[in-house]
């Protein structure tokens, strides 16, 4: 075993030295590291980006098509300040199955009333209680990076 370790150590020490990449501490103030991220734009990773201006959330109550199977629908209205905690869920004021007809909101899917053991409950399952884990508000912003993603094509329905 010692012989193997000695051989390995000798091999490593005999390798030619490779210049190390420039670090933030050794780089001149005017020279960026050259490391960038597409989501940050031209700002180097060690730099500070300017956050985008806040805009108003989409609030038109228009249902958007889904881009892929099983995609959670996006929220087509503002949810700023909605109380969603262990004691209360503001979304259920309109989206609970027994209130949706009156409010005109889309009722919560039946799958949200099934617990992890497959039992049907009379209330929202705790694993589906915090809506914004899956459902997000729509924001009128341009994509950070380009992509060629193509969503679902509408399926023909036969009578």
Which whole number is the average pLDDT over 46-66?
82
pLDDT of 59 strictly over 70: yes
Q: Which residues pair with 75 in a beta bridge?
A: 137
Listed residue (72, 23, 20) closest to 46, CA to CA: 23
Rounded to the nearest 5°, which phi and psi values hold at 85? Answer: -145, -175
Summarised one tens digit per residue, pLDDT across range 3-52 is: 777 777 777 677 665 444 444 454 444 444 567 777 777 888 888 888 77
51 vs 125: which has the higher pLDDT: 125
100 burial (CB, 10 Å; 0-12 / 13-18 / 19+) is middle
State residue 82's pLDDT score: 92
Quickly state the pLDDT bin for 157 (edges 50, 70, 90). Answer: very low
Q: In the CATH scheme, what is the code of domain 84-133? A: 1.10.1130.10
Q: How many CA atoms within 13 Å lie on the side-chain side of 75?
A: 18
Q: How far apart are CA 135 and CA 83, in angstroms?
A: 15
Reduced to 3 states, what is the DSSP secondary structure of residue 89?
strand
- For range 61-67, the mean pLDDT: 85
């Amino acid at each position: 075993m010692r012989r193997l370790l000695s051989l390995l150590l000798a091999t490593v020490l005999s390798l030619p030295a490779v210049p190390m990449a420039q670090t933030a501490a050794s780089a001149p103030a005017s020279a960026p590291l050259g490391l960038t991220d597409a989501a940050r734009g031209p700002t180097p990773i060690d730099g500070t980006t300017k956050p985008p201006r806040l805009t108003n959330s989409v609030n038109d109550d228009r249902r958007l098509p889904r881009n892929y199977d099983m995609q959670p629908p996006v929220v087509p209205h503002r949810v700023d300040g909605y109380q969603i905690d262990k004691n209360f869920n503001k979304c259920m004021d309109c989206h609970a199955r027994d209130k949706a007809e009156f409010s005109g909101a889309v009722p919560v899917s039946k799958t949200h009333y099934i617990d992890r053991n497959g039992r049907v409950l009379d209330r929202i399952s705790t694993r589906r209680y915090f809506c914004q884990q899956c459902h997000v508000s729509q924001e009128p912003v341009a994509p950070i990076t380009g992509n060629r993603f193509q969503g679902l094509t509408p399926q023909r329905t036969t009578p």
